[in-house]
Amino acid sequence: MESCMETPALFDEHDGRLLAEAALRGITASTSRLRGEEFMRTLVKDLAEVLDVTYVIAGRVIMMPDGGEGIRTLAVWAGDQHIANMEYSLMHTPCQDVTDQTMCFHACGIQADYPKDTLLVDMRAESYVGMPMIDTEGKTLGILSAIDTKPMDESKRLLALSLLSIFAARCAAELQHQDREALLEHKVQQRTEALRAAQASMVEQEKMAALGTLVAGVAHEVNTPIGVAVTAASGMSAYAEQMVEMLNGPKVSRSELVSLATRLQGAAALIEQNLARAAELIGNFKQLAVDQGSEHVTDLALHDYVHSVVSAHSPELRKGTITVELDIPATLRPRLPAGKVSQILSNFLMNSAKHGYPDGGPGTVTISAREGSADGVRWLNLEFADDGVGMAPDIRERVFEPFFTTKRGQGGSGLGMHIVYTIVHQMGGRVWADADVEKGCRFHVRLPLNR
């Protein structure tokens, strides 16, 4: 403590105790329900009024660019108002002693004691009292200090030390609470990002799994026409050998030649038809696989394109005896990313095959499309409907949630319809399930065309 000329006390010990108790009650009442910045600003103002000092500063210890310790103020009361927060180095300041966890008091002559502290000069400071904010682990988090432009008498010193010691602890608890909240928020953010990354990975895996299902289905479907073509080619070979033998014989029957030629012609037609069917299946699958990995926007001949997507899924649909009817004008050519459209349709088709007809068909899926406009925006309105078992209201409300599935443990990932929702919203559109259906389910998709 700095020695100064004694200043008469304004009140005796009993009055000082009463004043301290009243001040403590008043400040506690005004700050009890406050948190964060609001708490700090109210506290410094109330302390300045009770202590009758010009400045009260609440500050947090920080590391400065030069590696030394500094203070970042949390709230500053200066005379009759709050002023902007600031940062300053603790070097050559009375606060440097406070961060050593010792109370610091200078009744007068503070500028002379710390001549390198230009902030004290700017404040025209004469006296100073400060308390460290120490957390429950014994770490100094900040300081709470009162600074006046006139000397402090003994009674004010005692009052200041009483109040600052109590509220420095309260400030430390507030800062510790903020640190814990910040740490928790950081952990939540990290885990949220990890969850998003995992979810994105699972969505990509689901897309690849859907493509894998198509590969298996198309491979199985292609085997049939290829097998027929191989059988017909084998027959053609046998017919050709018979014809050669006949031509090399002593005599040739015209009727037998015509019969063999007719068989050869039939076998050739069978080969041509089945190879064309195999080529169509492979072409549709190839186009679908290429499109789903592309963001390219193009003018889609929508009827033909949807037909090709449906054809690529025909093995899975035929397994459940599900037929698909298209109600799409042949002239409709919306400008859209083909890959995203195929992914939407693929997930709708697989959803119907798995969930609309859990015990198999027969059933009918209808896909319709029309152009429309609203509020100056052109839209493609897609409607996907099936006549399957439908959805209960609670399932319909959650159908687009990630990982929600009614096939848990039966191979359902719960991501198919979420992928539809994600893609549609990425395109700036809307998708919803129709609640007003008598049988089966109906989904509506609205996609903007002039983006």
Q: What is the pLDDT, as a whole number, of residue 110?
A: 92
Same domain, residue pair 42 and 126: yes
Same domain, residue pair 282 and 304: no
Q: What is the pLDDT, as a whole number, of residue 333?
A: 93
pLDDT band at 81 (very low <50, low <70, confident <90, very high): very high
Same domain, residue pair 170 and 277: no
Distance of CA 167 to the CA centre of its chain: 41
Same domain, residue pair 370 and 442: yes
Same domain, residue pair 181 and 50: yes
Q: What is the mean pLDDT of residues 214-228?
A: 67
Same domain, residue pair 157 and 272: no
Mean pLDDT of the chain: 82
pLDDT at 75 over 50: yes
Same domain, residue pair 323 and 255: no
Q: Tell me whether residue 301 is in a domain.
A: yes
Strand duo 441-448 + 430-433: pairing: antiparallel
Give every CB contact of residue 199 below 8 A, 6+ residues apart in sequence. 402
pLDDT at 245 over 50: yes
345 within 8 A of 324, measured Cβ to Cβ: no
Q: What is the pLDDT, as a whole number, of residue 199?
A: 63
Q: Tell me whether residue 6 is in a domain.
A: no
Q: What is the pLDDT, as a whole number, of residue 415?
A: 67
Same domain, residue pair 237 and 112: no
Q: What is the pLDDT, as a whole number, of residue 147?
A: 94
Number of structural domains the chain divides into: 3
Question: Tokens 């609440």, residue?
Answer: 58
Same domain, residue pair 403 and 269: no
Q: What is the pLDDT, as a whole number, of residue 38?
A: 93
DSSP code for 2: B
Range of the domain at 323: 297-448
Residue 5's nearest CA partner among 126, 98, 92 is: 126
CA distance 300 to 427: 16
Question: The domain spanning residue 98 has which CATH number?
Answer: 3.30.450.40
Give every CB contact of residue 231 below 8 A, 6+ residues apart in sequence. none
Half-sphere CA count of 383, side-chain side, radius 13 A: 16
Q: Tell me whether residue 7 is in a domain.
A: no
Q: State pLDDT tens for residues 134-154.
A: 988 888 999 999 999 999 888
Same domain, residue pair 311 and 432: yes
Give every CB contact of residue 153 below 8 A, 6+ residues apart in sequence. 7, 8, 9, 10, 107
Q: Tell me whether residue 410 is in a domain.
A: yes
CA distance 304 to 15: 95
393 within 8 A of 356, measured Cβ to Cβ: no
Choosing from 264, 290, 316, the residue where a domain stops is 290
Q: Tell me whether residue 193 is in a domain.
A: no
Q: Tell me whether residue 179 is in a domain.
A: yes
pLDDT band at 205 (very low <50, low <70, confident <90, very high): low
Choosing from 135, 153, 185, the residue where a domain stops is 185
Peptide bond into 393 cis (omega under 30): no
Same domain, residue pair 252 and 371: no
Question: The domain spanning residue 440 has which CATH number?
Answer: 3.30.565.10
Residues above pLDDT 70, as percent of the chain: 83
Q: State pLDDT tens for residues 156-196.
A: 888 888 888 888 999 999 999 988 998 898 888 888 887 77
Beta pairing partners, 322: 363
Q: What is the pLDDT, as a whole number, of residue 202?
A: 61
